[in-house]
A and B are shown apart, each in its own frame.
Chain A
Amino acid sequence: MPPVSLAALHKGARGLVAAVRNDSQSLGDEAQSTVSRRLLELGFVPGESIEVIEEIWPGGDPMAVRLGNTTFALRRREASAVFVETSER
């Protein structure tokens, strides 16, 4: 299965991070590449386990994800830069 954008996942989805895209086209402006960089720095690197633990409401913003042993809150727009190889569903 091809990797899916984190933004498209819902509560309970799990997997491994496949890539972080530095794609200004999908993400907007220069601010976005800062976000991609920060995501990488925080540990959203290939191979790290990731799970969506909550959403403010299904499909809504923000969402809470568990990356390894750390929890982060982010919105779908930031999440769209992260691609995940999902495992169970």
Chain B
Amino acid sequence: MTAHAHTLDPMRVALVGVPNSGKTALFNRLTGSRQKVANYAGVTVERKEGAFVGPHRQRLYRVLDLPGAYSLTPTTLDEAITRDFLLGRLADEPAPEFVVCVVDATNLRLNLRLVLELRDLGVPMVVALNMSDLAESRGYRLDHALLERELGVPVVETIAVEHGGDRHLLEKLESLPHPGPRLPAAWSEPSFEQIQRTHREVRRILQAAGYIEPLRQRALSRLDEVVLHPIAGPAILAAVLFFVFQAVFSWAAVPMALIDHAVSWTGGLIRQSLPDGLLRSLLVDGVIGGAGSVLVFLPQILILFLFIIALEDSGYLPRAAYLLDRLMGSVGLSGRAFIPLLSSFACAVPGIMATRTIPNLRDRLATIMIAPLMTCSARLPVYALIIAAFISNRPVGPFNLQGLVLFTLYVAGILAAMAVAYLLKRTALRTAYHPLLLELPEYHWPHVNNLLIGLWERAKVFVRRVGTIILALMIVLWFLSSFPTPPPGATGPPIVYSFAGMLGRALEHVFAPLGFNWQISLALVPGLAAREVVVGALGTVYSLSTSAHDVASTLAPMVAQTWSLATALSLLAWYVFAPQCLSTLVVVKRESNSWRYPLFMVAYLFALAYGASFITYRVASALLG
């Protein structure tokens, strides 16, 4: 063909595979940052599309990362989409021209059955033996040429997590002719007998290909014995969580101090170089005081994500789901709900989207409704600020008091979630029994590369958000807090007379029973857009209220001086339940297809937050005098 073959039709490729086969890592490896995420028409299933060119730049490929599926007979919405896409049954989606079936080379028995099912569809395909490096190092042996002959489709090795690990796949794709558009394939649900026949065929093929499967390494079996042990298991889980919360404070201390100094220094520099006036106030109180005080929390968020990513990568999470299944069952959820709920600790949005793996609609809705109670990482700056200001850094046994309080806050969220789930399952979202059948993938050392890339992405996202929406909101807040200017002869800081001051005073009536002063009441408003904005808003508001001249680093001590401990605790309690940020509400609406659920969510969370805050404040005031 001509040299510019990619001006012709790109080849439409679909990536299929069972969960945990490394399909998504391969997708990322192939497409780099050229990805587009949307939804399949009419359903709330994520559609990930990317593009890449072949190694000789001869051809453009458009690849779709289909949801993981164990078989073409679906049990979840995700799996139904995968099947329907492959069969060309989805509206507006032509059937794929080519399929790359990603297979975990260390788990061929499980994966090959799907390969045979796909092969029988007749779509041109290639099998990508992923994690082939891991397989080899663990002692798996296989004759690829024989496997290829037995299967009747090309087989290549891939190492999705390594740079260049996709080159065999790329070469193979390039060497095959463009299959052209296809008619939708025919398929009918196999009978039990047919499934068993397929398994026998898999066994025959593996034997013919000289497959050698080593026994599981003793160390890993031992590890599972401990991790899944009825007593040691939960103890380890608790220990891991404690450790994470500890680390979030202690490891972050130095980097946070560094950022703090940098921010203050910048503020000082501006104060010295500009004459007193509007512009200086905008920069110092709005930009530095506002956005700067949020930026300081970057290290803590990164440390939290470090653990979340590492735990996801390592294979530990499904085991935690196993341990918690009873607990979740007692409130009517399945252990399966644990993983989306855990993702919610990072941010409720992907956690809510992850509930798509829960087959039953009502289970899914219940999980979605309680996901926001899993303390999302945007609350972390708020917690961290208050804890740093009011809780001393004392050791308590082997733990640290600050870490302990943070842990308690997270646990409070979880307990609240369980209580709410219990109520929901008893009333509106009652369901029949739901089965648990969960694969516990093999342990992996977390891939350092993956980790670093993940953290870098998070850092970029965080800094970008601070530099855009948070900065914008802080500037608007600054404006509202500086105008109208106070009438001549007025006492008190100018902010009291501004729009913001008036709004704060009005809101204070609502929140006074909770011990919130007008500054806090005001800060809650922009906090609806993004939780951590509350910290920024407090930063701006307090900076405008005082004549003290050292911004970000004084927010904590200032708060410590002006708030009572009861108020601080009350604010913490509020934040455990706090009504949602807008993004979460939008996602809930998309996932549940109606406004009823997000509205209900706002209502119940507001009520819980108000109630908890009220009780905390009253009790704390009474006890602390």
Contact = CB atoms under 8 A, between A and B. Distances in A.
In-complex A–B contact (CB below 8 Å): yes
A78 to B, nearest CB: 5
A41 B113 CA distance: 8
Contacts of B371: none
Contacts of A62: 322, 325-326, 335, 436
Given A35-B435, A61-B325, A72 B195 contact: no
A82 B196 CA distance: 14
A61 B330 CA distance: 12
A35 B441 CA distance: 20
B177 interface: no
Contacts of B439: 42, 70-72
Interface string A30-55: 01101111111111011100000111
Contact of A64 (B192, B228, B442): B228
Contacts of A41: 70-71, 73, 113, 195
A58 B198 CA distance: 35
Contacts of A45: 195-196, 199-200
B109 A69 contact: yes
A31 to B, nearest CB: 7
A8 interface: no
Given A54-B228, A57-B230, A61-B325, A71 B437 contact: no
A71 B322 CA distance: 12
Nearest to B224: A53
Contact of A71 (B73, B325, B440): B440
Interface string B228-247: 11100000000000000000
A38 B75 contact: yes
Interface residues of B, number: 42
A74 B199 contact: no
Interface residues of A, number: 39
Contacts of B318: 73
Contacts of B199: 40, 43, 45
B440 A64 contact: yes
A74 B436 contact: yes
B107 interface: yes
Contacts of B230: 54-57
B229 A70 contact: no
A29 to B, nearest CB: 7
Contacts of A71: 224, 439-442
B315 to A, nearest CB: 10
Contact of B225 (A43, A54, A56, A61): A54
Contacts of B437: 35, 38-39, 42, 72-74, 78
A68 interface: yes
A3 interface: no
Interface of A: 20, 22, 28-29, 31-32, 34-43, 45-47, 53-57, 60-62, 64, 66, 68-75, 77-78
7 interchain residue pairs of minimum CB distance: A54-B228, A71-B440, A73-B322, A41-B71, A45-B199, A73-B438, A40-B195
Interface of B: 70-71, 73, 75, 106-107, 109-110, 113, 192, 195-196, 199-200, 203, 213, 216, 221, 224-225, 228-230, 318, 321-323, 325-326, 329, 335, 432-442
